[in-house]
């Protein structure tokens, strides 16, 4: 099987978390390098997909400046990343253009690879293959390529399972992974899936932007 093309893939930025370690609110809207972190995430994912949506709960108007569809979770109350994946799948099913997959990225991970989706698509071998990113020996289940055909199965899982853990559902299906190299900058190695969960993480992100000139 040939993997999906860019035109077959909807991008979905997952911004539905509670941001407890940042003190609440939308950490994606915190400034990084003088602009909201979400601006960087959108700028990296949008060129890789046919269309882009933002998964977030609550008042959608807070993201109005981005001009993107804002889709809320369709099941549960803050049921985790899988609820956002499902919301992306359901949106894809309602689009006029045929979409076979949804590519997801976290809104607090501003340096993820610019060839993320292309490399995901290269390892798809069956229509139901799920693809996840890895780096430095770690798996990143929020960064994935998800077959829209699994939407009903995922919805049933979220409604009936006693866990919302991503990998618990993923391991019920065919899984492929793509490993991305750490980036060497001077004497330090940088994980492209670095995510900003705390105020200290934001300081670290500013360091990499300023001193190491991460693109």
**1-19 pLDDT tens trace:** 789 999 999 999 999 654 4
On whether 16 is known to bind a ligand per the annotation, the reply is yes
Question: 198 or 126: whose pLDDT is higher?
Answer: 126
Cα separation, 197 vs 168, whole angstroms: 23
On whether 17 is known to bind a ligand per the annotation, the reply is no
Residues 12/88, Cβ–Cβ less than 8 Å? yes
Tell me, what's the pLDDT at 79? 76
Q: End-to-end distance of the chain based on CA atoms, in angstroms?
A: 33
Percent of the chain whose predicted confidence (pLDDT) is above 70? 91
On whether 108 is known to bind a ligand per the annotation, the reply is yes
On whether 82 is known to bind a ligand per the annotation, the reply is no
Would the pTM of this model clear 0.75, i.e. be above it? yes
Cα separation, 2 vs 123, whole angstroms: 9
CA 48 from centroid of its chain's CA atoms: 12
Beta bridge mates, 133: 140, 178
Vertex 178, ends 73 and 3: CA angle to 5°? 75
The single-letter DSSP state of residue 47 is G
Q: What superfamily does domain 6-211 belong to in CATH? A: Spore Coat Polysaccharide Biosynthesis Protein SpsA; Chain A (3.90.550.10)
Beta bridge mates, 175: 130
Domain ranges of the chain: 6-211
């Amino acid at each position: 099987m040939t993997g999906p093309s860019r035109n077959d893939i909807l991008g979905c930025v997952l911004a539905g978390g509670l941001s407890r370690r940042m003190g609440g609110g939308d950490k994606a809207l915190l400034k990084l390098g003088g602009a909201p972190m979400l601006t960087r995430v959108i700028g990296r994912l949008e060129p890789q997909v046919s269309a882009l949506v933002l998964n977030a709960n609550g008042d959608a108007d807070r993201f109005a400046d981005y001009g993107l569809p804002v889709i809320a979770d369709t099941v549960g109350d803050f049921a985790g990343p899988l609820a956002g994946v499902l919301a992306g799948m359901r949106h894809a099913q309602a689009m006029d253009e045929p979409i076979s997959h949804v590519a997801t990225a976290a809104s607090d991970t501003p340096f993820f690879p610019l060839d993320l989706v292309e490399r995901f698509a290269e390892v798809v071998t069956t229509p139901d293959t799920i693809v996840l990113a890895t780096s430095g020996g770690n798996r990143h289940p929020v960064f994935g390529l998800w077959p829209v055909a699994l939407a009903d199965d995922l919805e049933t899982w979220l409604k009936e399972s006693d866990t919302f853990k991503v990998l618990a559902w993923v391991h019920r299906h065919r899984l492929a992974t793509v490993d991305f190299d750490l980036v060497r900058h001077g004497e330090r190695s940088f994980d492209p899936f670095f995510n900003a969960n705390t105020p200290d993480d934001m300081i670290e992100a500013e360091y990499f932007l300023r001193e190491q000139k991460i693109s």
